[in-house]
Chains A and B, each alone.
Chain A
């Protein structure tokens, strides 16, 4: 039986500095630090990230890769843990938030929304530190339209014993075709050697940037399946599948289906329920071709020799997921949320098949395309006009008063009150609960924290590291009363040790 698909999202936001600022602040690395520091100064006590157990050069195929460009960890840059269990830091030249570990796709939707709210609060806090007329703007997108991309990564817990080759083989058709449902849409094309307006509009922000089927890289020669083997959990029992192929979504339904459907497909792979027959002949060519075809009509070649549209591949995957739900249940993704995910996935595919306009409130690329087409029509402007690219950028704008995604009628799945709470309170269902609660209760006695441990500084004793190698320990069920009943970390540590 597949293990629970503990999951989360890490989003790098686009950042732009405008107005009368020094060259130093105009630098995106400095601006990202300023943004995050401004938030921390106004919202919570700072606790730093602990890099003890990070090993981004480990490869899931079973070897270490130290001589190629391993993902950099810039330890001198701001890097904080939040009381909701999230990590907020500067990655390369972007502010990035990793949601806390979640048990279901619905929780991911909530904490992804909370992350947006944290970024918005950061922009406001930063404005107070900048000269009049200066501002830092953030966008939840994945490309600047000029060939530079930054990621929205997903993570899923998988049993270590599942052969990695099976995961690669069987998840790839989903990663290539899911963009018909969860693509965020993009004006123009960024494929090297192709004119930007040769593709006036495409489904995905990211598809142009994928050059390999499988590999360790995330910044160059990006692979459809990333092999980083850094489980942040007991490595003898778990893998963390690090997914770099997705777009950042503005639609909550899209985030729900992106994470939920992928979790179900991974559960099917883990239980060896899915099979190999949807394997594609040329995944890299296919991911671009699918993205470049908003008509959804072109077919891609399967290794079996058959030709399917991306829609047909998605429908085949959905049908198998429905069979899986019937025969094995959806325990691995949460029964109720799993049913909600399958229903939303089915409704979206059915709508896309009938008429994409019918899913304009659920699918980002459809919502954006409708807006762009209507604007171009009203003002009689041609593809390639800068105003259309501006609409694309502003769809993802984190300023509420400028964000177009907030104005196109997208369905919402989470209530504003719950989002507010999720900016400071952790999920109760994973070890993020322990991290977040301890941080809120004893910020002065925590020296550092990371995904799989917390380091307490309780005065005269040496630092005490509490390992959290099990993502489903440290939940409210296990530790709420322990934390409630402990007045000091020393008491907590004594209770934990007993």
Chain B
């Protein structure tokens, strides 16, 4: 229990740092998540129709 309390109260300097940077990160995080959601909505049109066959047939010779 004591340990948990400690985790919830980070050192003061850390709090200041987070308070300053958190909104920026959160905003870009939301934006990123929205982008991903949009992409996932359309991804079925982009993905190969039979993923398993596609992956199985993807065989290359070694190169270089």
Residues of A whose CB lies within 8 Å of any CB of B are 12, 14-16, 18, 28, 71, 91-94, 96, 143-146, 148-151, 153, 218-219, 222, 244, 354-355, 357-358, 360, 370-371, 374-375, 378, 386-387, 389-391, 393-394, 401-402, 404, 407-409
Residues of B whose CB lies within 8 Å of any CB of A are 21, 25, 28-29, 32, 35-37, 39-40, 43, 46-48, 51-52, 54-64
**Complex Cα gap A404–B60 (Å):** 20
Q: Are A93 and B60 in contact (CB under 8 A)?
A: yes
Q: Are B58 and A16 in contact (CB under 8 A)?
A: yes
Q: Are A94 and B58 in contact (CB under 8 A)?
A: no
Q: Are A150 and B63 in contact (CB under 8 A)?
A: yes
Known: A144-B58, A219-B63. A375 touches B32 (CB 8 A): no
Known: A355-B25, A357-B29, A407-B46. A150 touches B39 (CB 8 A): no
Point out the residues of chain B lying under 8 angstroms from A389, CB to CB.
51, 55
**Complex Cα gap A297–B21 (Å):** 22
Q: Are A12 and B64 in contact (CB under 8 A)?
A: yes
Given A16-B57, A149-B62, 20 more contacts at CB 8 Å? A12-B64, A14-B58, A18-B57, A71-B64, A96-B63, A144-B59, A150-B60, A222-B64, A357-B29, A374-B36, A386-B51, A386-B54, A389-B51, A390-B51, A390-B54, A394-B46, A402-B46, A407-B46, A408-B35, A408-B36
Q: Are A370 and B32 in contact (CB under 8 A)?
A: yes
Of the candidates B36, B47, B62, B63, the one whose C-beta lies within 8 Å of that of A390 is: B47
Q: What is the CB-to-nearest-CB distance from B47 to chain A, in angstroms, rounded to a whole number? A: 6
Q: What is the CB-to-nearest-CB distance from A200 to chain B, in angstroms, rounded to a whole number? A: 15
Point out the residues of chain A lying under 8 angstroms from B29, CB to CB.
357
Point out the residues of chain B lying under 8 angstroms from A374, CB to CB.
36-37, 40
Q: What is the CB-to-nearest-CB distance from B11 to chain A, in angstroms, rounded to a whole number? A: 17
Q: Are A219 and B62 in contact (CB under 8 A)?
A: yes
15 A–B pairs (Cβ distance < 8 Å), ordered by A? A16-B57, A16-B58, A18-B57, A92-B61, A148-B60, A150-B61, A219-B63, A219-B64, A358-B25, A360-B32, A370-B32, A371-B39, A390-B47, A394-B46, A401-B46
Q: How many A-B residue pairs have CB under 8 A?
A: 106
**Complex Cα gap A14–B37 (Å):** 29
Point out the residues of chain A lying under 8 angstroms from B60, CB to CB.
14-15, 28, 93-94, 143-144, 146, 148, 150
**Complex Cα gap A375–B48 (Å):** 14
Of the candidates A16, A145, A153, A375, the one whose C-beta lies within 8 Å of that of B40 is: A375
**Complex Cα gap A196–B4 (Å):** 37
**Complex Cα gap A375–B36 (Å):** 9
Known: A148-B61, A375-B40. A393 touches B46 (CB 8 A): no
Q: Are A393 and B32 in contact (CB under 8 A)?
A: no
Q: What is the CB-to-nearest-CB distance from B19 to chain A, in angstroms, rounded to a whole number? A: 15
Point out the residues of chain B lying under 8 angstroms from A409, CB to CB.
32, 35
Most A C-beta atoms less than 10 A away, residue of B37, B43, B54, B62: B62
**Complex Cα gap A260–B51 (Å):** 37
Point out the residues of chain A lying under 8 angstroms from B52, CB to CB.
386-387
Q: What is the CB-to-nearest-CB distance from A98 to chain B, in angstroms, rounded to a whole number? A: 13
Q: Are B36 and A150 in contact (CB under 8 A)?
A: no
Point out the residues of chain B lying under 8 angstroms from A390, CB to CB.
47-48, 51, 54-55
> In the complex, what residue of chain A is closest to B21 when comparing beta carbons?
A354
Point out the residues of chain B lying under 8 angstroms from A15, CB to CB.
60
**Complex Cα gap A401–B45 (Å):** 9
Q: What is the CB-to-nearest-CB distance from B20 to chain A, in angstroms, rounded to a whole number? A: 12
Most B C-beta atoms less than 10 A away, residue of A143, A148, A355, A390: A390
Q: Are B62 and A393 in contact (CB under 8 A)?
A: no
Q: Are B48 and A394 in contact (CB under 8 A)?
A: yes
Q: Are A148 and B46 in contact (CB under 8 A)?
A: no
**Complex Cα gap A244–B64 (Å):** 9
Point out the residues of chain B lying under 8 angstroms from A408, CB to CB.
35-36, 39
> In the complex, what residue of chain B is closest to A244 when comparing beta carbons?
B64
**Complex Cα gap A375–B42 (Å):** 12
Point out the residues of chain B lying under 8 angstroms from A358, CB to CB.
25, 28
Give the 6 A-B residue pairs with the shortest CB-CB distance, closest first: A150-B63, A93-B61, A390-B51, A218-B64, A144-B60, A386-B52
